[in-house]
Amino acid sequence: MSLSIPYKKYPAPTAPGGFFYAASIPVNIALPAKNAPRSKRFDAIIDSGASGCLFHASIGRAIGLQIEKGEPKQTMGVAGPANLFVHEIAIYIPGGPITTQAGFSDSLPIAGLLGMLGFFEHFKVVFDPTARRVELERLYCA
Amino acid sequence: MRLTIMNDSRFEALQSAPLDSWIALSEDESKIVAVGGSYDEVVTKSENAGVSDPVLIKTPKAWLPISV
């Protein structure tokens, strides 16, 4: 099954037209345990430049993670290095949940990013700038 | 499956949203149903507003093109 999702407009007063487009989808996260309560849906940006999935720490705390007890890691963003804590979680996205390692940070300026590990490894992703849509096809490896 | 959203309504809602906050959008993402200073606060406020399945967005300190 594939899913075609329109790009979403975000305000950017300094950008041409006062906005920019990004591919994002609402996701939930939860502890990887069966029947663990999920977060509310939140907007997560699809970012092939991110090596993994990254979420705001407050969402992690809401699902029961003790953020600072995760594995500390440092990542390199375009604005410089950032510190985060890694936990195993389940991400609820189209096609069923994915259990993966994801980073959590209080300094993330947005709610979530979907990167290579945990997202792109499970989807064929096609960005179509003419239709301003992203197509997601879930991959199931034997 | 081809999804649609109320992109213009959503965009107008984001433009009117307070910065550096958490907001809850209605299920169709067309309007803001709650605003809070934290994830927990906006979840509580959206439930109090009768919206059990909102889409939450963390607004940045300033709206700028994203490069995290």
Q: Which residue of B has its CA nearest to A62?
A: B40
**Per-residue pLDDT tens listing for chain B (68 residues):** 776 666 789 999 999 999 999 999 999 999 999 999 999 999 999 999 999 999 999 999 988 776 65
The mean predicted confidence, pLDDT, of chain A is 92
* pLDDT number for residue A31: 98
Any chain B CB within 8 A of the CB of A132?
no
Q: What is the mean pLDDT of residues A15-40?
A: 94
Q: What is the DSSP string of chain A?
A: -EEEEE-EEEE-TTSGGGEEEE-EEEEEEE-SSTTPPPPPEEEEEE-TTSSBEEEEHHHHHHTT--GGGSEEEEEEETTEEEEEEEEEEEEEETTEEEEEEEEEETT-SSSEEE-TBTTGGGEEEEEETTTTEEEEEE----
Task: Choose among B46, B57, B63: nearest Cβ to A111.
Answer: B57
Task: Choose among B3, B57, B65: nearest Cβ to A4.
Answer: B3
Any chain A CB within 8 A of the CB of B2?
yes
